[in-house]
Amino acid sequence: MNFRIFLNEKGVTLVELLAILALLGTIIALFSTAIYQGIGGKDKVTTTNSMQQNGNVIINAFREDYNQKTNGISTQDTFTLCSNVGLEHVDKVIVNNHEVTMIEGCSTEEYRIDEKLNLELVFSKGDEQLILHTLLDGKESLSLAFEVEPEDDIDKGDPDDYEPGDTHPSWDKYICDFYGNTSFKQSQMGSWNACDPTTIHEGNAWFLNNFSIHEIKLFVDYNLFADKDFTLHEKSTVNVGESALMEGGLTFTPGTMKVGKNLKVQGSTILHNNAKLEIGENALFESPLTVTNGEVITNRNLEAKKEVRIENNGVIHVGGNAHFFEKVQFNGRSNLTIDGNATFEGNLHFQEISQIVVGGDAHIKGNTGPEWGAGQMCVYGDATFDQTIYKNLKQVETDACFQPAGHHIYIVNK
């Protein structure tokens, strides 16, 4: 059997070797470029993240300083904007489109305490640059002055300054913590689509649609805004660090809400079934207020523009002055306590062992009734009645308030 063996005895030519080496050089160059770009990209992301984190810390420092100086306590009309965090990595501080000179962490320019500040920080490191901006809109727009008519239009700030929020963006993901100003389009928060608790850190919460909360706790570090109706169901808790503006109605069925500073409700407010609403400073109700077996506590002043009804062991406690513009009616062992002065523009109706206690002066401009009803009113200051009082509504001067026995108005001797 014959075998043929074919051999290439010529080997590799110099041209072929050079071609191979050139090809290998090209491949190595491509891989080197990719590796370099990958490392450079990672460094770029790391640098950007570092500047972002540093910028957020500085912005929070400016915001805290701004809030402290515009909270209405200071007697100064102007202030300088300061940061207690070092600004050595900040190239520019821009306020209201004007670059500001900073000396020892504070601006050389002064600003009015009611002035909104568009703050912009410019950072750079190597070839990378980062610009962060925020609106310091303060909380002055939420302050309620009870000697004058509060402004109807309360500014929530720039909508572009709010990040969209969703507690349950996908079937397998829940978000428990939000940072900065956050707006919500969802209509409900409950154990099925939200964490307990859900928290908005260092920012406002803005609810754009009708909203209800069920059996969870919601914490908002700054202000809460609700464009439409806001409802708290059983075992739900809302805690607002600063102020709350409710443009729709506010309903408790039941539930608990605590507002650190001021509350303004433009729609109807309804509390029942042991619901509780606590306001750290002032409360303004522009529509009817109904408290049925519930409790409203405000540590300073209260204004009610429309009718107020307190029924079935309902309680309202005002730490300062109270001003009621329309009828006020108490039934079923309900209680109204006002530590300061009280003004009733409309009719005052209390019966069924209901009790009204005014620590200061009381001025009742409307009718007081009914003639028979087993309730009592106790005034520690001067009591002024513009209308004739029913003869069976006995005014009694005394040294202390008594439990209801008949239908009396007690004037406590000073």
Dist. CA 364–CA 381, nearest whole Å: 13
Residues 41-74: b if buried by 16+ CB within 10 A, e if exposed: eeeeeebeeebeebbbebbbbbbebbeebbeeee
Percentage of the chain surpassing pLDDT 70? 80
Residue 154 has a pLDDT of: 52
Dist. CA 404–CA 25, nearest whole Å: 102
Contacts 24+ apart (CB under 8 A), 228-237: 229/267, 232/256, 232/257, 232/275, 234/273
For residue 404, pLDDT over 60 is answered with no
Residue 206: count other Cβ atoms within 10 Å of its Cβ.
24
What torsion do the CA atoms of 413, 344, 340, 254 make, to the nearest 10 degrees?
120
For residue 45, pLDDT over 50 is answered with no
Dist. CA 334–CA 352, nearest whole Å: 8
Tell me what the mean pLDDT of segment 150-175 comes to: 72
Percentage of the chain surpassing pLDDT 90? 42
If one compares 395 and 317, the residue with the highest pLDDT of the two is: 317
Q: What mean pLDDT value characterizes the chain?
A: 81
Dist. CA 143–CA 312, nearest whole Å: 32
Going by pLDDT thresholds of 50, 70 and 90, the confidence category of residue 71 is: low
Q: What is the pLDDT of residues 178-215, one digit of tens each?
A: 999 999 999 999 988 888 899 999 999 999 999 999 99
Dihedral (CA of 389, 393, 398, 401) sign? negative
- Of the ranges 40-44, 122-126, 182-186, 348-352, which one carries the lowest mean pLDDT score? 40-44
Going by pLDDT thresholds of 50, 70 and 90, the confidence category of residue 408 is: confident
Tell me what the mean pLDDT of segment 351-367 comes to: 88
Going by pLDDT thresholds of 50, 70 and 90, the confidence category of residue 355 is: confident
CA distances in angstroms from 260 to 63, 85, 160, 229, 402, listed in the order given: 18, 27, 26, 21, 34
- Of the ranges 19-33, 69-83, 259-273, 392-406, which one carries the lowest mean pLDDT score? 392-406
Q: What is the pLDDT of residues 87-146, one digit of tens each?
A: 877 888 999 888 999 988 899 988 887 777 888 888 777 667 777 767 776 543 333 333
For residue 232, pLDDT over 80 is answered with yes
Going by pLDDT thresholds of 50, 70 and 90, the confidence category of residue 40 is: low
Residue 120 has a pLDDT of: 84
Residue 147 has which token pair? 């000697």
Contact 262, 282 (CB under 8 A): yes
Residue 33 has a pLDDT of: 62
Contacts for 19 with CB less than 8 Å, ≥ 6 apart:
none
Q: Are strands 98-100 and 90-95 parallel, antiparallel or unpaired?
A: antiparallel
Contacts for 192 with CB less than 8 Å, ≥ 6 apart:
none
Contacts for 314 with CB less than 8 Å, ≥ 6 apart:
271, 291, 292, 293, 294, 295, 330, 332, 334, 335
For residue 333, pLDDT over 60 is answered with yes
Residue 100 has which token pair? 């500001």
For residue 300, pLDDT over 80 is answered with yes
Placement of tokens 């808790």 in the chain: 237
Contacts for 327 with CB less than 8 Å, ≥ 6 apart:
307, 308, 346, 347, 348, 349, 366
Going by pLDDT thresholds of 50, 70 and 90, the confidence category of residue 11 is: low
Residue 72 has a pLDDT of: 53
Contacts for 126 with CB less than 8 Å, ≥ 6 apart:
47
Contact 251, 231 (CB under 8 A): yes
